[in-house]
Structure 1
């Protein structure tokens, strides 16, 4: 049996294939980002999913694509966790950007971007990914991501830059007590996922002038930092993966047009496209 997983910081989608490459089942666990989640918690999030544990000795291969898997140390942490559970499996771990490439463009050259809980980009030349810099995560990078916008909303609320009408709704939906926020940011697991939970507020108020402004500014920052430095022409396909890109595609396309770029497609969840790629290309 083969497991294919697309693991973000908020959630991880798993698909199991039988020996004939037919889909056996699919499940979703909590996010499995080894850069921010401790090994013990990673282990618990997997073993708490009955469907995965039920077949753990039957799994021969795992293809895991995950947030936080762009540098060696987190990859090794996750590898040890997976190997301890799926004892008979050959384990392949790559960063989520590669899953985005496979899901979006397959084997054709393109710029491929992620805008979800976190953010990233790469240029895929048809064979290899070219990345501007390694991602340093939610504190220093992740422009225009869910956690980026979550931080912006909290900051604007506390500095009273948020319009009163929006602030009143914000107060109704979230616990904005300072001690509660600090507890979640500095003491709890997955602070990036916690910050991204605030970004969901923008979906309900996407027509508001204030919300549109901060989204546009975030997207502009992403283009300047993560797309324009590749110096590709307007003929280069540009793909986006993730809920932030999906729900705010209209604003994203306007920003792209400003830089004389055209978005080829926006994919909310890459797992189905990733499955199709594996069925076609993995022996």
Structure 2
């Protein structure tokens, strides 16, 4: 059996294939980002996936593509956790950026962008994914991601910069008690996922001037730091993956056009394309 996982900070999509690469089942679990979760929390989350526990002895290969898997230390921690659970499996761990490439343009050059809980980008030349910089994560980078917008919304709410009508709805939807917010930001696991949970609020208000301006500003910053430095023109395909890109794709496409670029495709979840790539290629 072959297990393929597309792992973000918020959730992981798992698909199990048999020896003929036919799908047996698919499930999702809590995120497994080794850059923001310690070994104990990672182990607890993997242990809680009961459907995988039932087949773990039969899994011979795992392809895990994950957020936070860009350094040797983070990969080593996640590898140890997976190895303890899947003792008979060969485990290959790669960054989520590679999964995005395989899902979008596995053979042709293009700029591949991730806009979900976090954000990232690369230029794929048809053979290798080349990144502008090593990501430093949600506290410093992650422009236009879910956690980026979550931070802006919280900040504007507490500074009373949010329009009154929107602030009222924001307060009704979320627990904004200061102690509760601080506990989630500084004491609980996955503060980036917590911040990203506020971004869903923007969808119902995306046509409101305040929210629309917030989204455009974030996307402009993303293009400035994560797309334009590749110095590619309209002839280069540009792909976006992730919920932020997908749900605000109309605004995203307008910002791209302002930069004289055209987006080729926006994919919410890459797992189906990723599995198809594995089914059609030998590893």
Aligned CA-pair RMSD: 0.6
Match of 2:118 in 1: 118
| Aligned residue in 2 for 1:219 | 219
How do residues 133-212 of structure 1 correspond to structure 2 at under 5 angstroms? 133-212=133-212
Equivalents in 2 of 1:46, 1:18: separation in Å?
A: 21
- Residue 70 of structure 2 is aligned to residue 88 of structure 1: no
Find the aligned partners of 1:80 and 1:118 in 2 and give their Cα distance: 24
Return the alpha-carbon distance in structure 1 between the equivalents of residues 263 and 69 of structure 2. Answer: 26
Q: Which residue of 1 aligns with 2:46?
A: 46
CA–CA separation in structure 2 for the residues paired with 1:45 and 1:104: 29
Mapping of residues 70-85 of structure 1, within 5 Å:
70-85=70-85
Question: 4+ residue runs of structure 1 moved beyond 4 angstroms?
Answer: none
Q: Distance in 2 between matches of 1:75 and 1:107?
A: 26
Whole-angstrom CA distance in 1 between matches of 2:71 and 2:205: 37
Q: Distance in 2 between matches of 1:233 and 1:113?
A: 15
SS at match of 2:181: helix
Alignment partner, residue 66 of structure 1: 66
Q: Spell out, residue by residue over 1:97-156, the C-alpha distance to the aligned partner (whole angstroms, 9 max, x if none).
A: 000000011111000000000000000000001000000000000000000000000000
1:260 counterpart residue number: 260
Aligned residues: 283
Which deviations, in whole Å up to 9, do the C-alpha atoms of 1:1-29 show, x marking residues without a partner?
00000000000000000011100000100
| TM-score, L = length of structure 1 | 0.99
1:132 matched residue in structure 2: 132
Alpha-carbon offset, residue 282 of structure 1:
2.7
**Cα distance per residue 1:24-66 (max 9 Å; x no partner):** 0001000000000111111121121111000111110000000
Deviation at 1:233, TM superposition (A): 1.6
1:107 aligned residue? 107
SS in 1 for 2:127: coil
Q: Which runs of 5+ in 1 are unaligned?
A: none
- Compute the TM-score of the two structures, normalised by the length of structure 2: 0.99
Matches of 2:45 and 2:103, distance apart in 1:
25
Residue aligning to 1:278: 278
How many Å separate the matches in 2 of 1:58 and 1:40? Answer: 24
